[in-house]
Amino acid sequence: MVNRLQKILIVEDEQSIQKLLEFTLMQANYETAIAQDGEQALKMVMEESPDLIILDLMLPKIDGMDVCRQLRNRDIDTPIIMLTAKGEEMDKIIGLEMGADDYMTKPFSPREVAARVKAVLRRTGERAKPKDEMLEAGQLLVYPNRFEVYLEDSPLEFTRKEFELLVYLMRHPNRVLTRGQLLQAVWNYEFAGDTRIVDVHISHLRDKIEENTRKPRYIKTMRGVGYKFGE
Ligand code: CA
């Protein structure tokens, strides 16, 4: 079984810093997701269950402080590293009081980012330990945190994106999901515009989990719209 990479949610509206963080964290062997503003951040925390959040203070719609406060109010204790700009010294203190775990001041070096993330993850490891969630449908059993899929008790091998797609579908059962939604959820717009990648992965998933791919039991095609997971 492939070990699951830890996922870092980057919440930052400045593209240059977004890219720097994304690149640095990928180099350090983390998976990344990006939210452009506070509203999207709150949504993505629920959908993506990141292991850590890098949260910029100054954000459109809902600012970083408010995002932090709202998460903690909902008992979501995902570790948070706040990003502040020079001159926002006061906010650091408030940020830590608000429930952030650490902070970094811009500009920062890639090495500092990687070191901070690693340190915070290690420090909060016990707290952030994922619950052993289990998703079940028919003969299909999936452990999202363990990267394991079983069909009739036999383990199946999946690529990361296939696995993420399956987990997303199973977390949203009996709902019509458009190709665009799936692209956003699983690929994070990486291939924006080209929804064929969704179809290709759905087809791979079906080959693995469906007894009869022409008459799928789990992943149904909603003609002209998208897909629906349901037994
Ligand atoms: Ca900003």
162 C-alpha vs ligand 1 centroid, how far in Å?
33
pLDDT in tens, 160-205: 899 999 999 999 999 999 998 898 888 876 555 678 889 999 999 9
- The answer to whether the CB of 57 falls within 8 A of the CB of 64 is yes
| pTM metric for this prediction | 0.55
Domain boundary among 128, 146, 171: 128
15 C-alpha vs ligand 1 centroid, how far in Å?
9
Does residue 85 share a domain with residue 26?
A: yes
Per-residue pLDDT band at 27 (split at 50, 70, 90): very high
Domain boundary among 73, 95, 128: 128
pLDDT in tens, 47-89: 888 999 999 988 998 989 899 989 988 888 899 999 988 666 6
Q: How far apart are CA 144 and CA 186, in angstroms?
A: 14
> DSSP per residue over 67-136, as a string?
HHHHHHHTT----EEEEEETT-HHHHHHHHHHT-SEEEEES--HHHHHHHHHHHHHHHHHHHPPP---EE
Q: Total domain count for the chain?
A: 2
83 C-alpha vs ligand 1 centroid, how far in Å?
9
Does residue 209 share a domain with residue 157?
A: yes
> What does the mean pLDDT of the chain come to?
88
Q: Which residues pair with 83 in a beta bridge?
A: 56, 104
Do β-strands 52-56 and 80-85 pair in parallel, antiparallel, or remain unpaired? parallel
Does residue 185 share a domain with residue 115?
A: no
Does residue 102 share a domain with residue 23?
A: yes
pLDDT at residue 2 greater than cutoff 50: no
The pLDDT value recorded for residue 126 is 65
Show the tokens assigned to 220: 């149904």
- The answer to whether the CB of 14 falls within 8 A of the CB of 53 is no
Does residue 141 share a domain with residue 164?
A: yes
Does residue 101 share a domain with residue 164?
A: no
pLDDT in tens, 107-148: 889 889 999 999 999 888 766 555 677 899 999 999 988 889
Let me know if residue 68 belongs to a domain: yes
Q: How far apart are CA 11 and CA 41, in angstroms?
A: 6
Let me know if residue 55 belongs to a domain: yes
The pLDDT value recorded for residue 92 is 61
Domain boundary among 107, 128, 149: 128
Does residue 196 share a domain with residue 94?
A: no
89 C-alpha vs ligand 1 centroid, how far in Å?
15
Does residue 38 share a domain with residue 53?
A: yes
225 C-alpha vs ligand 1 centroid, how far in Å?
35
Domain that holds residue 197: 135-229
Does residue 155 share a domain with residue 121?
A: no
The pLDDT value recorded for residue 107 is 87
